[in-house]
Amino acid sequence: MFCWQCEQTRNGTGCEAGGVCGKKPEVADLQDLLRLILTGLSKAALAARAKGHVDNEIDRFTIGAVFSTITNVDFDPPRFQELINKAAAYRDQLKQKADMPECDCEEMNLKPAETLDSLIKQAADHSAYWHKDLPEAATLGLRETAVYGLKGLCAYADHASVLGQEDENLFKFVYECLAATRDKSLTLDDWLAMALKVGEMNVLAMKLLDDGNTGAYGHPVPTKVPLGPKTGKAIVVSGHDLKDLKMLLEQTKGKGINIYTHGEMLPTHGYPELKKYPHFHGHFGTAWQHQTAELPEFPGPVLFTTNCIQRPGPATGDRTFTTGLVGWPGMPQIKADSKGHKDFTPIIEKALSMPGYDMDEDKGEVMVGFGHNAVLSVADKVVELVKSGKIKRFILVGGCDGAKPGRNYYTELVDKAPQDTIILTLACGKFRFFDHKLGEFEGLPRLLDIGQCNDAYSAVIIAQALAKAFDCEINDLPLSLVLSWYEQKACAVLLSLLYLGIKNMRLGPTLPAFIHPDVLNVLHEKLNLTPIGTPEDDLKAMFAQS
Ligand code: FSO
Ligand code: SF4
């Protein structure tokens, strides 16, 4: 195996004998084989489209299959076997529809081996094929940047699709990008253009998801979320999927079970159609990398709806459930029926058989619900405070948390930011400071939680609306972006921000192993994309811009 797609990659260069995330070599190889066959499927889908044949079932399958290869989503070999077999069957179906001429390229012809053991051997023969097929390191790195951004885009597109939000342009682009990865004639400039196109199309994917979430569950409103438990049986929900949460809330009504969020589910407390359930109680724990230490303390079952899942410890192994694309070997999976309905009875029964909490406890609360609608409803006040010089700067501290050292930077930056600064945040990196008492400034909370990483679109809308109100470009706003990355959704968001021409972003805790230093130099020269420094130096530099 070779995998370097996430920030925690071994030694900052690549995981070779097993992933730091827990990914086994056979899973990495199966993911590579899936990628190879998906490139063939993509060529066939484009040829079929050219003849007017569009199959949305295959389109949905493709984005889901790509999403499955994101860090901390699926670790289960049999599930990859299923995806590989389906991908090959769909590819062959599309080849026939498109009446494609025979070609001797592997991605069009490869037949998956029949048993899982033989498939794993076949996958080993294609292990990291993509890492060996381009001689030029900078071009390879940029192609992989586009591929990892595409994985993030597929995650957003999949979440949106579950809510009925789809766009033909997005499906077609996914096929174009995947098919292009087999074209060795593409140059560094071609891949730079493709990476920025991924960023552009990812804005569309994020918009679809925003429309889906706000359309189904309303616009988030500022909401206090308790961090302490309430007496009663308990289920904790992790991941990013709002539809799963809604179905679980419906099915647990009146059963004496309180529902808690974990990780990236925290901001869901702000959605009117979710917060209306009286048993949707509060939040448990912090960011994903602490799950094995924190979840054993929870006296009820755990439901993972998406990433980031880690190997469950013995204390939680028999009470952890997965649903959707997330998977761990041997862990029970709640599947949707043909209409998308999920029956959560097994997890409800588990909750009823477990002790739950026997007393209420006050552990404080945090505020969520500052999506674009809520923030822009006070835009006039914000503009006035900036124009009068009272608010000096907005700092968006957004992105993922992670286990590697160096992430304290983000905590310190937020704590050391002057009083007249408003901190905007999104994604799981916020758990470094989400419960810090930053107080208010001129009647505005100093810490505004925009939402999940899936809500990065909200940040773009807020920045665009403020720029309009000030009659300036986003780059001229008193706004600094300080990003933390971990997995491939962060790559997609970064590419969107680069596509939008956002300058002066800071990125950490370390830079991606797959981006060649020459490419980083270009990004630094053109857009002043800079690695994070020290909180003190970076704050000084941000305020020098004002
Ligand atoms: Fe975090 Fe994990 Fe939301 Fe990521 S939970 S790290 S960018 O998968 O998805 O922010
Ligand atoms: Fe390593 Fe990250 Fe790949 Fe896991 S996803 S194998 S930690 S680079």
At 380-404, the pLDDT tens digits run 999 999 999 999 999 999 999 998 8
pLDDT at position 262: 98
Is the CB–ligand 1 distance for residue 288 below 6 Å? yes
Question: How many angstroms separate the CA atoms of 454 and 496, rounded?
Answer: 13
Question: How many angstroms separate the CA atoms of 398 and 413, rounded?
Answer: 12
pLDDT band at 313 (very low <50, low <70, confident <90, very high): confident
Amino acid at 436: H
pLDDT at position 240: 98
Mean pLDDT over each residue of the chain, to the nearest integer: 97
Q: Measured in angstroms, how far is the CA atom of residue 3 from the centroid of ligand 2?
A: 6
Residue nearest to atom 6 of ligand 2 (CA): 19
Is the CB–ligand 1 distance for residue 263 below 6 Å? yes
pLDDT at position 404: 85
Kindly report, residue by residue over 156-208, the tens digit of the pLDDT.
999 999 999 999 999 999 999 999 999 999 999 999 999 999 999 999 999 99
pLDDT value at 546 more than 80: no
pLDDT at position 206: 98
pLDDT at position 135: 85
Nearest ligand, measured from the Cα of 27: 2
Pocket test for ligand 1, best of 71, 264, 265 (most atoms within 8 A of CB): 264
Nearest ligand, measured from the Cα of 148: 2
pTM of the model: 0.98
Pocket test for ligand 2, best of 5, 67, 487 (most atoms within 8 A of CB): 5
Is the CB–ligand 1 distance for residue 452 below 6 Å? yes
Is the CB–ligand 1 distance for residue 155 below 6 Å? no
Residues 6+ positions from 99 with CB-CB distance below 8 Å: 51
Q: Measured in angstroms, how far is the CA atom of residue 514 from the centroid of ligand 1?
A: 19
CA atoms within 13 A on the CB side of 17: 1
Question: How many angstroms separate the CA atoms of 170 and 366, rounded?
Answer: 36
pLDDT value at 493 more than 70: yes
Kindly report, residue by residue over 128-146, the tens digit of the pLDDT.
999 999 989 999 999 999 9
Q: Measured in angstroms, how far is the CA atom of residue 427 from the centroid of ligand 1?
A: 6
Q: How many helices (H) and strands (E) does the chain have?
A: 20, 16
Q: Measured in angstroms, how far is the CA atom of residue 374 from the centroid of ligand 2?
A: 37
Kindly report, residue by residue over 216-256, the tens digit of the pLDDT.
999 999 999 999 999 999 999 999 999 999 999 999 999 99
Site residues for ligand 2, CB cut-off 6 Å: 3-6, 8-9, 15, 19-21, 23, 71
Pocket test for ligand 2, best of 8, 11, 491 (most atoms within 8 A of CB): 8
Q: Measured in angstroms, how far is the CA atom of residue 72 from the centroid of ligand 2?
A: 8
pLDDT band at 444 (very low <50, low <70, confident <90, very high): very high
pLDDT band at 88 (very low <50, low <70, confident <90, very high): very high
Kindly report, residue by residue over 513-534, the tens digit of the pLDDT.
999 999 999 999 999 999 999 9
In the chain, % of residues over pLDDT 70: 100
Kindly report, residue by residue over 37-53, the tens digit of the pLDDT.
999 999 999 999 999 99
pLDDT value at 289 more than 80: yes
Question: How many angstroms separate the CA atoms of 379 and 372, rounded?
Answer: 10
- Locate tokens 């995998």: which residue? 3
Pocket test for ligand 2, best of 20, 72, 309 (most atoms within 8 A of CB): 20
- 467 exposure class (CB count in 10 Å sphere: 0-12, 13-18, 19+): middle
pLDDT value at 462 more than 90: yes
pLDDT value at 545 more than 80: no
- CB atoms under 10 Å from CB of 20, counted, come to 16
Closest CA to 88 of 54, 155, 39: 39
Q: Quote the tokens at residue 454.
A: 């899936």
Is the CB–ligand 1 distance for residue 427 below 6 Å? yes
Question: How many angstroms separate the CA atoms of 422 and 478, rounded?
Answer: 11
